[in-house]
Structure 1
Amino acid sequence: MGLPRLSRTWTGALSCTVLVLTVAAACALEGASPGDRPAASGGQLGTVRALPPGAGADLLKRDPKASPQARAVYQFLADLEQGARAGKTPGTVIGQHIEAQNELYNVDYGDYEGIKGVGYYYKKAADITGKLPGFVETDLGPGYGQSSWGVGDPRTYSAGKWPTCSSKWQYTDDEVDLLAAVWLGHPRAQDGTYGTSGTQQNCDGSTTTIPDNGGAPAGIVGMSFHEPYPGSPVKSFDRVLCRNSPAATDPNWFSRVVDATHRTPEYQALVQDLSYVADHLQYLAEHDIPVIFRPYHEMNSTGCGDGFWWSGQKPADYQALWRITYDYLVKTRGLHNLVFAWTPVSWDGAPGVDPWNYYPGDQYVDLVGVDDYSGSPAHPIGTGEVWTKRYYDGLAAYKKPRIMAESFAVPVNSRQPDTLQRTPWTLWTVWGQSLTSGNLHPDAISNSNADVKASYDAPTAITGGAAAYSSSTDWSSLHVR
């Protein structure tokens, strides 16, 4: 079953001029009675605010048709960035990446052996701290060893295009539903997707239960795309790596992938892959859910070893890949619910080099960030440097909201307790299982429960959830018309 369209009441206006939600509380409704405020539970969105004039103006420069919801999310992050540049510490959204395919199919993944269920590491934060992440990112790719793209239950985006009830593809449906549950709140009484028990029966015989997050808007959402190389006969993470792609042996292969002029077979395979991610993003757009979309990250990795097939290529060819993706999603498919994030890997030479020549251009990018796997809280890169500061300062020239897109470590910990004060990223996302089951970098320390709790309890931490969860914000303030 798909998500139903929700009826909304359009009343009320924000009393403040921007959509920034303070760490203590959200902006108040001007002239609104208590009954106008969004319900904390029961699945009703309540009042949806009018978008303040000028909100998301920079996003509109990129996409004049950007949805009000996308503009609200962008403005929220832009205001956090503006406050940080003014010498304040307005807040950092604490995020969690979800490796849905591993949670559902890899019994060895995470902090115990066995199937976790999609959203396990979303809920794990609350198990430790009593608070949920304010941002959740899922990864539509890379697949789990199947021979072609597929989906779980029949949805509007399958429509005869992708095989349904396919083995090892239920996770894509589950993660799309998780994003909806974070933006809209779950459980929702009027949403029949999961029935009265909160559990959905899937056509492959499995069941899905999305974590309860309070029944009301509970945060913002994003999607990355670990795309197996175009034309790959198998959809799996190992086919995302450059060393397993044609790029490892054919120096001209990538140029053919981005050859839109001659519509090479490699280019057509790329478009086929983009149509898969576009169909899922469109499903979210149809339900008015804005998505921070983060494609082709870590493009500045060195060599063709552990880098992705799009990494270490000629900067002009990489920029062409980004433009093809942007034009297909926004212009061809009409997806105006997207906020585009460009995130190189840490550029200290291990594992990445300076990324500046890879930047696609302001007309294609809304957020800039870094995937930081170069150091650790115990051993930050650079003598005397504050952990992550090299990357925070390096991205400042773009004058866009800066995000820590991936990190094994939580920001506040016993080794670096003042990270969010010294480098107030607008968003800090922890990668998958590393929240509790240890980091993969040899120098890195594991996140203790105390460090996770310290990060979520930090004075400037912006967390998620509603009702029973101690969210630092009223996320329904981002639901606008």
Structure 2
Amino acid sequence: MTNILGRILFLLTALVMVFTISFITPIPVSAVHSLPVNVEAEDCILDKGASIVTEVYGTKYPGYSGEGFVWVANSGTITLEVTVPENAMYELSAKCWMYLGDEGDSRLQVVSINGRSQGDFFIPNRGKWVNYSFGYFYLEAGKTTIEIGSSGSWGYVLYDTITFDYADMPEHNIDPTPSDPLATPETKALMKYLTSVYGNYIISGQQEIYGNGNDGDMELEFNYIYDKTGKLPAIRGFDFMNYNPLYGWEDETTDRIIEWVNERKGIATACWHINVPQDFSSYTLGEILDWTDCTYKPTASFNTANCLDKTTKEYAYLMLAIDDLAKQLLILQEQKIPVLFRPFHEAEGHNNTDGSGAWFWWGSAGADVYRDLWKLLYTTLTEEYGLHNLIWEVNLYTYANSFEWYPGDDYVDMVAYDKYEGSPYTWGTSAATTVFLTLVDYTNDTKMVALAENDTIPDVQKMVNEGAWWLYFCPWYGDFLMSPNNNDPALLNTIYNSEYVITLDELPDDLYEYGDPTLPPLMYGDLNGDLTVDSMDYTLLKRYILKAINEFDAVHEAADLNLDGSIDSNDLVVMKKFLLGSITDLPYAK
């Protein structure tokens, strides 16, 4: 009898639990028809390990809304179906908490839309609930299924709310003023041009091979492009790699830059694969090494952090390398050639801030050292060498903590991204819009964003539709460009002949004077711009001194006739003497 009663009680308890679970399981938000959508995560469709809780293993996570939150452990999905009202850009975001590891650690999560992966997203541990954007997506009108936590996700994230709305797209109204206050006129002009086309057009670019690659045929990629499209890229990529203290030789990179800019009227961009000795501990400064004994990869014997210490051999070596580089840049400055300069590129490598994921030695000591290393290079070139023909371009990524690698607005003119298949995503011809807009957000839309390296060029129509206005694209050399697996020749032709893509023949003739009207030579005393000095100029000067007017039709220096740095009655006396013939030349300083 006791056993029977026990079984009955067990069955009743189980039945109550079943009904309890049924009643507390929410009715899924199967279809939302109006924007913005802001729903509790627990009201979405949950599957494969996602569960509604108020704590995890006894740990509270206060600050959530509703009656609980969704806990996704090692697997689990959250699905939301929405009716997209029109073809447009949309943003998906969530209030969430990644709770594993230390603050700053991150977990990869995958988002799918209509069954197609939109990429990997690294949600950081901030020790609290955060509003995390999964990015921006171009969607066509109709029913759309959104899944968070798709196959490949690492899980261990708490979700409170899910938000879906129109994307707030940037304006791309960039100040053309270079970061270098002493930038040359040509550099300022190029910045004006770049900012004028940014957000409306994409500039075509192509990296040349360096050293003696292609059996010395530096035009291989460019001839290929011309053969397939009838066009040439507006930007040519160069590398100062071979100007170094170790094995350096004259590969005529500087001469080719001069020819490309001054003769072919193009734009030059340059990176700097600067090498260090593989065995730096036994290296003697000034020693010549075979290139096989050198590397740009991290090496245990070269301590990158020591580059910031003037007492170290690493610092001395870096200064030698900078000197070799500066000599070439000074030649270009003398030729009035500005350069989109992208040194110390791809520093972060793969998702880290401590240097553990670095691909190059300059990133191997982590983000803090890298920022100071960048600033050291910037100040050394601008202040010690007087180089002011550089537009500074920094490579960044879009991992959870990538912005920590940003040197700061005062040291950067534009942000760049290097996009290759499988690193970290399989891109195809996508516009990489979420990456682009994430980089735009890094600087609050105050810096231009470029695709400084790539294999597959994004589809132009996708870039236009999605607002992924990369300033320029620039495929790496060889098969990165010429393999049909990377760039279909037909699509390459479409890209180069698109109305949205600027090619070499479409650059303005006055590119390096762009936006600056040609001013006549300074003529002292000519205040109305008629190229004579007469009583009309005398009247203007008198009225200016009496504060009846506050400007002339000439630069103010034209009124400083005694060169004392001010405009006052003494200048009026000088002009009167000139008009009366007492003096014959202006300016006149005793």
Q: Is the 8 A contact 2:297 2:361 kept in 1?
A: yes
Cα shift readout 1:118-177 (whole Å, capped 9, x = no counterpart): 23323332122111111011001057xx98344xxxxxxxxxxxxxxxxxx242x1x222
Match of 2:378 in 1: 326
2:491 counterpart of 1:451:
yes
Q: Secondary structure at the match of 2:378?
A: helix
Match of 1:434 in 2: 479
Q: Is the 8 A contact 1:241 1:305 kept in 2?
A: no
Cα shift readout 1:352-388 (whole Å, capped 9, x = no counterpart): x64201111111000111111254899339xxx9541
Contiguous gaps of at least 5 residues in structure 1: 1-54, 85-89, 110-114, 151-168, 187-216, 248-252, 440-444, 465-470
TM-aligned CA distance change 1:283 to 1:339, over 3 Å: same
In structure 2, distance between residues paired with 1:427 and 1:452: 15
Match of 2:256 in 1: 178
Q: Which has the higher strand share?
A: 2
Deviation at 1:315, TM superposition (A): 1.6
Matches within 5 A, 1:14-29: none
2:201 counterpart of 1:96:
no
Equivalent residue in structure 2 for 1:393, among 425, 432, 437: 437
Equivalent residue in structure 2 for 1:70, among 187, 193, 211: 187
Equivalent residue in structure 2 for 1:281, among 325, 329, 334: 329
Contiguous gaps of at least 5 residues in structure 2: 1-173, 519-590
Cα shift readout 1:302-335 (whole Å, capped 9, x = no counterpart): 3667701112422221111101100111110001
Q: Is the 8 A contact 2:229 2:492 kept in 1?
A: yes
Q: Secondary structure at the match of 2:510?
A: helix
TM-aligned CA distance change 1:237 to 1:73, over 3 Å: farther
Equivalent residue in structure 2 for 1:148, among 234, 246, 251: 246
TM-aligned CA distance change 1:272 to 1:94, over 3 Å: same
In structure 2, distance between residues paired with 1:420 and 1:245: 45
Q: Is the 8 A contact 1:222 1:291 kept in 2?
A: yes
Match of 2:297 in 1: 242
Q: Secondary structure at the match of 1:339?
A: strand
Amino acid at match of 1:66: A
Matches within 5 A, 1:70-469: 70-81=187-198, 84=199, 90-101=200-211, 105-106=212-213, 109=214, 115-142=215-242, 148-150=246-248, 169-171=249-251, 173=252, 175-186=253-264, 217=265, 219-229=266-276, 234=289, 236=291, 239-244=294-299, 246-247=301-302, 253-260=303-310, 263-302=311-350, 307-344=359-396, 346-347=397-398, 354-373=401-420, 375=422, 379-380=426-427, 386-397=430-441, 398=443, 399-412=446-459, 417-422=461-466, 423-438=468-483, 445-464=485-504
Amino acid at match of 1:432: Y
TM-aligned CA distance change 1:268 to 1:424, over 3 Å: same
Deviation at 1:459, TM superposition (A): 1.6
Q: Is the 8 A contact 1:226 1:237 kept in 2?
A: no
Cα shift readout 1:184-211 (whole Å, capped 9, x = no counterpart): 125xxxxxxxxxxxxxxxxxxxxxxxxx
Cα shift readout 1:233-256 (whole Å, capped 9, x = no counterpart): 647488444344525xxxxx1221
In structure 2, distance between residues paired with 1:421 and 1:77: 21
TM-aligned CA distance change 1:245 to 1:451, over 3 Å: farther
Deviation at 1:180, TM superposition (A): 1.3
TM-aligned CA distance change 1:96 to 1:67, over 3 Å: same
Amino acid at match of 2:478: Q
Amino acid at match of 1:80: V
In structure 1, distance between residues paired with 2:344 and 2:465: 30
* 4+ aligned runs moved over 6 Å, structure 1: none
In structure 2, distance between residues paired with 1:222 and 1:330: 18
2:177 counterpart of 1:58:
yes
Match of 1:473 in 2: 507
Amino acid at match of 2:366: K
TM-aligned CA distance change 1:455 to 1:281, over 3 Å: same
In structure 2, distance between residues paired with 1:66 and 1:99: 29
Q: Secondary structure at the match of 2:192?
A: helix
In structure 1, distance between residues paired with 2:229 and 2:336: 30
TM-aligned CA distance change 1:240 to 1:58, over 3 Å: farther
TM-aligned CA distance change 1:124 to 1:237, over 3 Å: farther
Q: Larger C-alpha radius of gyration, 1 or 2?
A: 2
Q: Secondary structure at the match of 1:395?
A: helix
Amino acid at match of 1:92: I
TM-aligned CA distance change 1:235 to 1:75, over 3 Å: farther
Sequence identity of aligned pairs in percent?
A: 25
Q: Secondary structure at the match of 1:410?
A: coil
In structure 2, distance between residues paired with 1:264 and 1:133: 43
TM-aligned CA distance change 1:223 to 1:436, over 3 Å: closer
In structure 2, distance between residues paired with 1:133 and 1:149: 31
* Count of residues paired in the alignment: 326
Q: Is the 8 A contact 1:239 1:245 kept in 2?
A: no
In structure 1, distance between residues paired with 2:465 and 2:323: 41
TM-aligned CA distance change 1:411 to 1:238, over 3 Å: farther
Q: Is the 8 A contact 1:409 1:434 kept in 2?
A: no
In structure 2, distance between residues paired with 1:410 and 1:64: 34
TM-aligned CA distance change 1:307 to 1:170, over 3 Å: same
